[in-house]
A and B are shown apart, each in its own frame.
Chain A
Amino acid sequence: MARSTTQRQTRVGPASPDARRAGSLDVDALIADRRTGIIVCCGSGGVGKTTTSAALALRAAEQGRKVVVLTIDPARRLAQSMGIEALDNTPRPVTGLDEAAGGHLDAMMLDMKRTFDEVVESQASPEKAQQILANPFYIALSSSFAGTQEYMAMEKLGQIHRDAQAAGTYDLIVVDTPPSRSALDFLDAPERLSSFLDGRFVRLLLAPARGPAKLMTAGFSLITNALTKILGAQFLKDLQTFVSALDTVFGGFRQRAQKTYSLLQADGTAFLVVAAPEPDALREAAYFVERLSEDGMPLAGLIVNRASPAPDSPLPAEDALAGVGKLRRDGNGTLAAGLLRLHADQVQLVERERALRERFATAHPQVPTVVVPALAGDVHDLDGLRRIGELLAASGGSSTDRSD
């Protein structure tokens, strides 16, 4: 996958985000801005992307936006936190929110395979579609190929956006991206699928007889022989059927992927990178930030979730630990020793997280950031999401400790 970074061409996009001055990320201003039509939350797995997307969507809806939130998470966590039993490929209204401001909220869970099937069905004749849908390669590709999820998320986003524009159903789409194996998958998926479709091997499978040179045909029979030897003849036959059958719908794919890509680059889109104050998550976040700027994608800011709450008393960790040592030596004060140790632990955690964030800020000074303190429990319901929404908006004030 690393190869695709070196191979990709530079894209020309709108003004890169570093034209903006860094500060703290003002989430309320972002969702209040009617020009914001799409918010994409991306980041590595386990950083609270799904919850953040849902909380943002809910907050926007309660402030009067007509919102749909699109999640791709197979654990169906959003479904649970939104109090909906099963999300499917259709947006469903979320009940229980405050619609006084005139907004509303729908939620949907992406059924990746179904989205893929729908694309095939819409592009190919019924007969051909049947042939494709039954092919073992198609089945494996549409349900387990790395990158398919990412691609389908973008495909669905494009669909919803087109429908919403035509019917005026939504004025804000919030997208939760899949937990990619790597940050690259999400932006590269469409290109990877297209480059596969344009690949020489696939071309050859489609038209081995049309090989321009003798050598090529000879090379090809070498390959097919080798593959047959390794994989068995059926494998190659299935593959050939698959590729030639799917070829008819490829053109459509490519065009649409291109459209969605431009949609993501447009001004109405805002990317939010979500991270936790951990080295791995922040490294991934840095990677996202770099890729987004490289591709000219409009980056709105960084959300650092699950920050440890700052300790209430200013006692330095060393002093607390020295006190613990003294108490333990003297053999008394177990309660105070415990409390002081906890305090020292807390101070260390907070300092480490701050150091990590500052390192990120130094390397990416153009990225507005908001830090969200960790909640004690998990978020199950709209109240929990509201609370997260408040924290997202509240810490967007002046409390972030970044230095420019």
Chain B
Amino acid sequence: MSDWSKVRLHVVTGKGGTGKSTVASALALALAHQGKNVLVCEVEGRQGLARMFDVDPLPYQERRLTTGLPDEDGGRGIVHALHIDAESALLEYLSMYYRLGRAGKALDRFGVIEFATTIAPGVRDVLLSGKVYEAVERNSRNKGAIRYDAVVLDAPPTGRITNFLNVGGEVGGLAKVGPIKTQSDTMMKLFQSPRTAVHLVTLLEEMPVQETIDGIAELERAGLPVGGIVVNMVRPRDLSDDDLAAARAGTLDRSRIEAEVKAAGIEVTDALLDGLLHEAREHAERRALEDAQRAVIAGIDVPTYELPRMAGGVDLGALYELAGLLREQGMA
């Protein structure tokens, strides 16, 4: 049973470099089972999804990307992807709501579209999050659109996520009346409801963990629902606690390792043993630092999931592996 079965919109944020696009993609794969339709969107113009799934750059159009991770009965769903850019979102919005006719063309000709999407304060974020909202709730004017069981947003980083979702606040100060105001209020209703969850990706390092804590506080202040914490790129845990302690103290049993390495069919040299012992010590030191950060995270009252560091990099196969781990841990 998923911890987030009521959630329709999964927002995945995190400090830069923590791998939030990887986590968002893996989460989408994990959610897509038993014939479920899942949409994963990106809004930062980086085409990270296309790279992640090894497909051509995505257009402003929902595209079938791949099948999800099958469940025990082999039931798979479908993952779709959408690359949202502000200009296309604005044009779509205008044509959906207003029959502007000549005025629509004039808007573009006079540079209003560019103005609105690049410089008008807050408008850019509203357009991007507005399209995400539309993908979740589906507008009746968007005929024939797929209804998604879940939407995953590869969101802006932790430092900007609250502003990004807090559209009421951003626009409220500028557009005090009118349809934009009404619509941003409706959007806020979804974003602040239990049908949305903002997940935070972190590493077991001090700064990302601190940023996660700050991010959670900020989300809570804005009334936005905090989802889970995904601890990414966790070092392998192949050594027992006792061995780790011994490695840190420099008291690992050299003759035992020598015998065991021999038993592994590997030729033992002093250089090899020295190397392994030194690597063990370095690893143990880093593990101790990780454990300290893990303890900090455990102190936050939020469900936590862990994903291992993929030494060979994250390819499509690795994404499915990560998806499996998320599902095992109950995130999807």
A residues lining the B interface (CB < 8 Å): 1-3, 44-47, 74-75, 77, 136-137, 139-141, 144-146, 179, 181-182, 192, 196, 199-202, 204, 219-220, 222-223, 225-227, 229-232, 234-235, 238-239, 276, 278-281, 309, 311-315, 319-320, 322-324, 326-327, 330, 332-346, 348-349, 352, 376-378
Contacts and interface: CB of A to CB of B under 8 A. Distances in A.
Interface string B281-299: 0110110010000000000
A182 B274 contact: no
30 contacts: A1-B118, A45-B157, A140-B170, A141-B119, A179-B16, A179-B157, A192-B119, A200-B110, A219-B110, A226-B103, A226-B104, A226-B106, A226-B107, A280-B21, A315-B266, A315-B272, A323-B261, A323-B266, A333-B263, A335-B253, A335-B256, A335-B260, A339-B261, A340-B261, A340-B264, A342-B239, A343-B279, A345-B236, A376-B282, A376-B286
A220 B110 contact: yes
Contacts of B243: 335, 338
A32 to B, nearest CB: 31
Given A311-B279, A339-B279, A219 B238 contact: no
B53 interface: no
A222 B311 contact: no
B174 to A, nearest CB: 6
Interface residues of B, number: 83
B141 to A, nearest CB: 16
A309 B110 contact: no
B180 A231 contact: yes
Nearest to A284: B46
Contacts, number: 230
B16 A45 contact: yes
Given A75-B207, A327-B263, A278 B174 contact: no
A70 B325 CA distance: 42
B173 interface: yes
Given A309-B282, A336-B264, A346-B279, A223 B107 contact: yes
Contact of A75 (B211, B265, B275): B211
Among A1, A226, A238, A332, which residue has the most Cβ atoms of chain B within 10 A?
Answer: A226
B264 A326 contact: yes
B114 A231 contact: no
Contacts of B305: none
A321 to B, nearest CB: 10
A332 B15 CA distance: 41
Contacts of A322: 264-265
A77 B276 contact: no
Contacts of B174: 136-137, 140, 231, 235, 238
Contacts of B180: 230-232
A342 B238 contact: yes
B278 interface: yes
Contacts of A336: 257, 260-261, 263-264
A208 to B, nearest CB: 11
Nearest to A199: B111
A293 to B, nearest CB: 22
Of listed A74, A199, A238, residue having the most chain B CB within 10 A: A199
Contacts of A47: 16-17
A280 B263 contact: no
A320 B266 contact: yes
Nearest to B286: A376
B236 A342 contact: yes
A229 B180 CA distance: 9
Contacts of A3: 114
B275 A311 contact: yes
Contacts of B238: 337-339, 341-342
Given A312-B278, A352-B311, A376-B289, A204 B110 contact: yes
B275 A335 contact: no
Given A280-B21, A322-B265, 14 more contacts: A44-B16, A140-B122, A182-B46, A199-B111, A222-B106, A230-B180, A232-B175, A276-B17, A278-B17, A335-B260, A339-B279, A345-B309, A349-B311, A376-B289
A230 to B, nearest CB: 6
A169 B327 CA distance: 59
Nearest to A228: B178
B110 A74 contact: no
Q: Across the A-B interface, give the 3 residue pairs with the lowest CB-CB distance, nearest first.
A: A46-B17, A45-B16, A313-B275
B15 A46 contact: yes
B45 A312 contact: no
B265 A326 contact: yes
